[in-house]
Amino acid sequence: MLRHAPSVAAFLPFSSLYCCPKPLLKPSSLSPNIFKFPSFFSSPPLSMSSRSVSDVLMAAARAAASKSKKRKAQDDGATTNKNPNPTPPSKDPKPTAQPKEEEKPTLGIDDRIAALRKKPIDFKPHSAAFWKEGESIPFLFLARALDLIAGETGRIVITEILCNVFRTVMATTPQDLTAAVYLSANRIAPSHEGVELGIGDAALIKALAEAYGRKEEHIKNQLKGLGDLGLVAKASRSSQSLMFKPSPLTIVKVLDTFRIIAKETGKDSQDKKRNHIKGLLVAAIDCEPLYLIRLLQSKMRIGLAEQTVLVALGQASVYSDSEKHSNTPPLEEAAKIIKQVYSVLPIYDKIVSALLHDGVWNLPEKCTFTLGVPIGPMLAKPTKGVTEILDKFQDTEFTCEYKYDGERAQIHCMEDGSVEIYSRNAERNTGKYPDVVHSVSRFKKPSVRSFVLDCEVVAYDHEKQKILPFQILSTRARKGVILSDIKVQVCIFAFDIIYLNGQPLLQEQLKVRREHLYNSFEELPGTFQFATAIRSNDLEEIQKFLETAVNSSCEGLIIKTLIRDATYEPSKRSLNWLKLKKDYMDSIGDSLDLVPIAAFHGRGKRTGVYGAFLLACYDEQNEEYQSICKIGTGFSENMLEERSASLRDKVITKPKPYYRYGDAMNPDVWFEPSEVWEVKAADLSISPVHRAASGVVDPNKGISLRFPRLLRVREDKAPDQATTSEQVAEMYRAQKFNHSNNQEDEDDD
C-alpha cells in the first residue's frame, strides 16, 4: 500500500493544468481536501495503474457530493431540533461582532477603474487602487486604464485619465512609476539604446497557439475577421479556463520580461522569446492579453501619443504636490517643463527618479544635457520667399546656409574616443555609418576631447565631387553595414555644435557656436565639410545664393538668426530658423509629410494593387489624423507595388476613432497609421470633403491639396511627426493665389 498517495494533478498533462477549454470539474465545486486520497477513500487506494484520471476525478466528485449532503442534513437537523422555548438572554450578554450587513461595502475593480474618469481636481488617488500600499502595481490596473482610454477621443479626457493613473501609482507604489510611464509610452527603453523586441506577428501567433491550446490556422482565420492580433488574444483567453491560477502580472514584471525578450540573441533565441511571451499570456486575465500583444507589436492602437504621456506625468506631479501643500496647480507650466526636459534627456528612468525626489519644478537643474544621449533636433519653419525673410529678420543679423538633401545626424564623440551617431528620432545609427565613425579622428583637431555635432549626412560621388540625391542614400542598409562593403559613399556637412570638451553649448548664441565649430575641426573634401553659408541682407545676393544652392543639388536654404534669440532650442520648430526652397516660390511652398490612413482598390492596369490612397495630416492639439487629399499620382509601377505590399499588413477592420474624414469618403480599406509620405501639390483649397484644419480657416470646412504627387517615403519620421493641421492652415494663409484658384474644390483628386 502506498504511504502517501500522489495528487490528482500529478496525473494531468501540463496543458490541462493551465488551459482547459472545457474542465471536467470546476475547482470551486470540489472539497478542499479533494487531493488528499486518505480523506475520501474508505479502503486502501487501488494501484494507480488500474485507475484512470477519469476514475480518480469521479471518486473525488462523489466524495465531495457525499460531504455536501451530510452538511445539509446536519443543518436541517439543527433547524428542526431548535428549542421552542429558548432560554432568555442574560442581563450582561457578551459583546458580539457587528453583523456583516453593517460593514462598509468594498468597491470592485470596475468601480475603482471607473474612478479614473473623474476630473483630477476631484480625484482621490487611493480610490482607484485595488492593491495594498507598497505592493507591486498589477498590470491589470494599467490594462484596464488603457481600455478606458481606448473608448475616448478627446485629448483632454485622455490626459486626465492617464494623469489619475500616474497619481494612483505615485500615491501607493511610487517605485513602479517608471515602469508605468514606459509602458504607457509604448516603450521598453530609451530610443537611443536601440533595444528592440525583435518579435514578428508569426512568432506571436505561434506563442498564442501554444499558450492557449489553439491551432495556428484558427488564429490566423480569426485575425482576418478581427483585424487585430490583440483582440484575438483576448478572445482566446476568454474561451479558456484555468485549473490553477498563476501569480498575477505586475507592470514591473511585464516590462522586465519585455527587456529580457529584447536581450535574447543567438541560437534558439526565437524559441526563448516565444517561451517568455507564453509565460505572460498564460498568466494574463481580463483585457491583459489584448495589451500584452499590442505592446509586443509596438502598436497600442488607442490614440495615446507620447506627448500626452509627458503632459499627464507633469500634471500628476503637480497634483501630488498640491495635495501636500494645498496650492493651485499650474498645470501648463509643469507640462512645458516635462517636455523641455525630455527633449534634452529622453530617459524616463532619470526623469521619473528626479521627479519623485525633487519635484517637477527642479527638473531642469536635475536633468540636463548628457554626452552620449541625443537631444531633439532644432527645426525650421517654412517661408515663401526672400522678401518674407527680410521682413521677419529686420534689424537682426542672420546667416543663410545650404539646405542639404540627406539624413539629419547627431554625432557624439566621447572622452574615450568612442563615437555614436543618432537620427532625428534619436535612433542609434552608428551601425549604418561605420565610415563616418572611422573618419572622426581625422577631422577633429587634437585639442578636441569630446563633442556633439549637428549635421547632415549626404550621399556623395567622390569622383565627380558632387552631392547625390537622397534616394541614393536611402539604398544603404539601416544597420550592420560593413566598412569594406560600402557602395554608397557619404559626406558630412556640419552646421552646428552643441557640446564641446565637457561644456554644453545650447545656451550660446549661434555666432559663438559657429566659431567653436570652425575652430575645432578641419575640413576633408568629400568626407567632412562645413555647411556653405553667407551673411547678407541683400535681396539679390540671397536670391543668387538660393539658385547656387539648388544647382549644387541642395533643397534650398536655411536662414538663422546669429546673435539675438539664437540659442539652440531642442525639438522646437522655431521662427529663428526659416527654410526656403526653390519651389516655395512656384507653388504652395513647403512639401507636406502626410500619413496614409486608407486606400481604394486599383482598377484596370492597377488591378491587384491599391489605386489611390487617402492621406492625412496630424492635429497635435486633438491628437487625431485629419484627411487632406486623395493621391493616385507620382507613383511608378514599382513604387505602387512596394507601397501596396508595405501597407497590406497594416490593414484594420474599421477607421480609428481619432481619424477625421468626410462622410462622402468610402475607402475600400483602412490602415494603422504607420508610414509618412512626402507630398508636393499645386496649391491648397477650401474643401467640404476633407477635414484638415477644419474650422480654422473656414468655420465648417477643411483644407485639401490640389494635384498632389508623391515625392518619397520619409522613413526618418514617425506618424505623429507628420505635418500638423496648424502648419497646413499657415501654408494656406501664406500662399498667393487668384480668385479662380480659391474656389471650393468638390473633387480634390
Residue 508 is given by DSSP the state S
User: How do 556-561 and 573-581 pair as beta strands?
Assistant: antiparallel
Distance of alpha carbon 88 from alpha carbon 370, whole angstroms: 82
Classify residue 189 as exposed, middle or buried by CB count within 10 Å of its CB (0-12, 13-18, 19+): middle
Say which residues have a Cβ less than 8 Å from residue 206's Cβ, sequence separation at least 6: 216, 274
> What residue ranges in 565-717 does DSSP mark as E strands?
573-581, 592-601, 610-619, 624-631, 651-652, 659-660, 669-671, 677-680, 683-687, 702-706, 709-713
Helix axes 269-283 and 251-263, enclosed angle (nearest 10): 170
Pairing of strands 677-680, 709-713: antiparallel
Nearest residue to 162 (alpha-carbon basis) of 333, 335, 329, 287: 335
Q: Whose CA is closest to 295, among 281, 283, 308, 285? A: 281
Q: Which candidate, 466, 354, 373, places its Cα nearest to that of 426? A: 373
The Cα–Cα gap between 641 and 367 comes to 46
How far is residue 620's CA from residue 635's CA, in Å, rounded to a whole number?
A: 29
Which cell numbers in the block locate residue 303?
490614440
Q: Which residues are marked as active site?
A: 403
Torsion angle in degrees (nearest 10) through CA of 546, 549, 553, 558: -80
Q: How many CB atoms lie within 10 A of CB 650?
A: 16
* 75 vs 85: CA distance, rounded Å: 20
What is the DSSP code (8-state) at residue 647?
Answer: H
- CA–CA dist 366, 345 (Å, integer): 10
Q: What are phi and psi of 697, to 5 degrees?
A: -95, -40
H or E stretch covering 277 = helix 269-283
Determine the residue type at 694.
S
Distance CA 409, CA 502 (A): 20
With H, G, I as helix, E, B as strand and everything else as coil, classify residue 411.
Answer: strand
Query: Which ranges in 498-636 belong to alpha helices (H)?
Result: 510-520, 539-551
Q: What grid cell was written down for 182?
A: 514606459
Q: Could you tell me which of 198, 580, 235 has the C-alpha nearest to residue 402? A: 580
Q: How far apart are the C-alpha atoms of 264 and 271, rounded to whole Å? A: 10
User: How many other CB atoms sit within 10 Å of the CB of residue 26?
Assistant: 9
Which residues are bridge partners to 403 per DSSP?
556
Q: How many residues does the chain have?
A: 749
Sequence-ordered strand ranges (E) for 447-553: 451-461, 466-467, 490-500, 503-504, 528-530, 533-534
DSSP helix/strand/coil, 419: strand
**Helices 251-263 and 139-150, interaxial angle, to 10°?**
90
* Cβ atoms within 10 Å, residue 69: 10
